[in-house]
Amino acid sequence: MNTPPWHSWLGPRRARRLSERFGTPLYVYSAPVLRNRCRALLRAFPGVGLRYAMKANSNPSLLRMVRSMGLGVDTVSPWEVQLALECGFRKADLIYSGNNPSDDDLRAVHRAGVLINLDSLSSLHRYGRMFRGSRVSLRVNLEVGGGHHPHVITSGPDSKFGLAPEDLPEAKSIAARHGMRIVGLHQHIGSGIFDPQLFLDALDPLLAFSEALPDLEVLDAGGGFGVPYRPEESPLDLAGLGSRVTTRFRAMQKGRKKPLQFLLEPGRYVVAEAGALLTQVTTLKRTRDRVFIGVDSGMHHLIRPALYQSYHPVSMVPERDGAALRSFIVGPICESGDVLAEERMIPMPEEGDLAIVGNAGAYGFAMASHYNLRARPAEVLIDNGKVTVIRARENYRDVIRRRDLRAKR
Ligand code: LLP
């Protein structure tokens, strides 16, 4: 395999040392890579408010780092709001884009004083009834969608997200009835998008749509910037996209009396490449057709391969000599879908070797579970050669609470 991109901050020797010091499975993050991605975004989109979609990775230490770089956050649940505020973000730098909110969700977001993107007539109506005279933002579905997998396309006729354009008159009348002002307009078309043209194609109808909203103060074009996972994929031309997007934003600003604040909500772009999952080979098995490299992590820690057939690059430590064999890196979970990597050509490792699963910083730990009653991994951060535990390894009591054990039937 060619030198993997994480080699500069997670080479074989460091991986071995980390595994001995902190155990495996372990999420390892690079502070310089994360800062670097924030800088790239700030450079590409000058004058645009960046709201990191914290659903991608909500580790508090990473959140504080994102804040220190000058980004705000996009939140989708009351606890995300609470955590962001606890990590020092100002409420003005938060936006809320949750879907199908309960009345409790609406109340919590309102109480926190965070601008909310509402994407159904029902939620608009309920919000208006509870909070007469409030300011709201509308999430629209203007039919342009995209993404790396059907599950992550969030716009288009089959999507549960966003208000259809034909609902706008009704939305306006609900707002008027409750004395609400529609100050924001939002869309998010999907995740893992590489084609800059798709963002621009989505932007045009959004800009056109905004003309119908005289009180508009905030225009939020969502996130979705792709990062390369496969060796043959090349990175998105962020600077090129940035200049085209900001040109359109500026042109739009010119024709308006009120100043407009433009927002973007990248999640994956900020953290994906800043994280790797370090796991140890526990069990080797050869069948007639396959080599199974059994490791101590799996779909419960990184569900993307199982859920979206996502490809994550892998490097083995040490890199062994010998013929490369068609191998499957699989975990300890009792499902055949518990695969981290499929059909990789890898020389036969030995039990005790390590596998580094790259680009695992986004939607890795964030989607981890306790399935099969296993702990989620610990998380460490490398900054300036110093390694800090930013989430302690869970123990049995963290997962099985005494009060649940004692609960009477
Ligand atoms: N804004 C909204 C309203 C979103 O729903 C999302 C992601 C984002 C921003 C950030 O998108 P990003 O820049 O990260 O692509 N679990 C999937 C990704 C699901 C994304 C859901 N929404 C995965 O692992 O690929």
CA-192 nearest atom, ligand 1: 15
CA torsion, ordered 401, 103, 52, 213, to nearest 10 deg? 180
pTM of this prediction exceeds 0.95: yes
pLDDT at position 107: 98
**Residue pair 356/27 in contact by the 8 Å Cβ criterion:** no
Please choose from 268, 308, 359 the residue to mutate so as to test ligand 1's pocket, defined by most ligand atoms within 8 A of CB: 268
Report the separation in Å between the CA atom of 395 and the middle of ligand 1, taken as the mean of its atom positions: 30
Report the separation in Å between the CA atom of 223 and the middle of ligand 1, taken as the mean of its atom positions: 7
Q: How far apart are CA 223 and CA 220, in angstroms?
A: 9
Q: Which helix (H) or strand (E) holds 106?
A: helix 103-112
* Beta strands per DSSP E along 77-165: 94-96, 115-118, 135-139
**Residue pair 59/49 in contact by the 8 Å Cβ criterion:** no
- Clarify whether 334 is annotated catalytic: yes
pLDDT at position 153: 86
Backbone angles phi, psi at 204, to 5 degrees: -55, -50
Cis peptide before 205 (omega within 30 of 0): no
**Residue pair 28/271 in contact by the 8 Å Cβ criterion:** no
pLDDT at position 106: 98
Q: What residues are in contact with ligand 1 under a 6 Å CB criterion?
A: 53, 56, 74, 97, 152, 154, 188, 191-192, 222-225, 265-269, 304, 308, 363
Tokens of 220: 């939020």
Report the separation in Å between the CA atom of 154 and the middle of ligand 1, taken as the mean of its atom positions: 9
- Residue closest via CA to ligand 1's atom 8 equals 223
Q: How far apart are CA 297 and CA 365, in angstroms?
A: 12
CATH value of 5-27+273-400 in 3.30.160.40, 3.40.50.360, 3.40.50.1370, 2.40.37.10: 2.40.37.10
Whole-number Cα distances in Å, 391 to 16, 22, 26, 266, 377: 19, 11, 10, 23, 8
CATH superfamily of 30-270: Alanine racemase (3.20.20.10)
Q: How far apart are CA 47 and CA 41, in angstroms?
A: 11
Whole-number Cα distances in Å, 73 to 47, 49, 57, 264, 391: 16, 10, 11, 10, 20
Please choose from 80, 265, 312, 365 the residue to mutate so as to test ligand 1's pocket, defined by most ligand atoms within 8 A of CB: 265
Give the ranges where 229-366 is alpha helix by DSSP (H): 238-254, 268-271, 304-308
Of the candidates 3, 255, 321, 334, the residue annotated as catalytic is: 334
Question: In one letter, which amino acid is 86?
Answer: E
Report the separation in Å between the CA atom of 191 and the middle of ligand 1, taken as the mean of its atom positions: 5
Q: Which residues of 347-382 are buried (b: 16+ CB within 10 A; e: fewer)?
A: ebbeeebbbbbbbbbbbbbbbbeeeeebbbbbbbbb
Report the separation in Å between the CA atom of 287 and the middle of ligand 1, taken as the mean of its atom positions: 38
Residue ranges per structural domain of the chain:
5-27+273-400, 30-270
pLDDT at position 398: 96
Whole-number Cα distances in Å, 216 to 125, 150, 258: 19, 32, 8
pLDDT at position 408: 79
pLDDT at position 144: 83
Query: pLDDT tens string for the chain (409 positions)?
Result: 568 889 999 999 999 999 999 999 999 999 999 999 999 999 999 999 999 999 999 999 999 999 999 999 999 999 999 999 999 999 999 999 999 999 999 999 999 999 999 999 999 999 999 999 999 999 999 888 888 888 888 888 888 999 999 999 999 999 999 999 999 999 999 989 999 999 999 999 998 888 889 999 999 999 999 999 999 999 999 999 999 999 999 888 887 888 899 999 999 999 999 999 999 999 999 999 899 999 999 999 999 999 999 999 999 999 999 999 999 999 999 999 999 999 999 999 999 999 999 999 999 999 999 999 999 999 999 999 999 999 999 999 999 999 999 987 7
